[in-house]
């Protein structure tokens, strides 16, 4: 699957715990990456400073859904499911609201 135009869900929904270029504290889940441009495209796409997480992400229907809105929900749910157990239980109520 090719990236959906004007989506950027993968640059918003997941957290990135490690510091990277332009975001020295990393990125919180739901926080827009500073490298997401006005067309919701990654400005670091072919840049070696792009975070490893981003470089390994592949657009797939299972995580991108049928729309940007679905992608944001699916990726937010995956974010919670990959948290340590205590954190996941505390955050589960806020997913999809």
Return averaged pLDDT per consecutive 10 residues of the chain, 97 residues in all. Answer: 94 94 95 97 95 93 96 95 70 53
How many CB atoms within 10 Å of residue 33?
20
Determine the pLDDT at residue 97: 47
Using CA atoms, how far apart are residues 25 and 16, in angstroms rounded to an integer?
Answer: 9
Angle at 29 between CA 57 and CA 46, to 5 degrees: 35
Determine the pLDDT at residue 55: 93
pTM assigned to the model: 0.81
Determine the pLDDT at residue 45: 93
Determine the pLDDT at residue 84: 78
Using CA atoms, how far apart are residues 58 and 16, in angstroms rounded to an integer?
Answer: 16
Determine the pLDDT at residue 95: 54
């Amino acid at each position: 699957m090719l990236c959906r135009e004007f989506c950027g869900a993968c640059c918003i929904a997941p957290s990135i715990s490690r510091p990277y270029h332009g975001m020295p504290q990393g990125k919180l889940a739901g926080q827009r990456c500073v490298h997401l441009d006005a067309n919701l495209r990654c400005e670091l796409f072919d840049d070696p400073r792009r975070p490893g997480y981003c470089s390994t992400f592949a657009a797939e229907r299972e995580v991108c859904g049928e729309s940007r809105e679905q992608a944001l929900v699916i990726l937010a749910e995956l974010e919670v499911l990959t948290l340590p157990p205590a954190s996941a239980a505390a955050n589960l109520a806020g997913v999809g609201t």
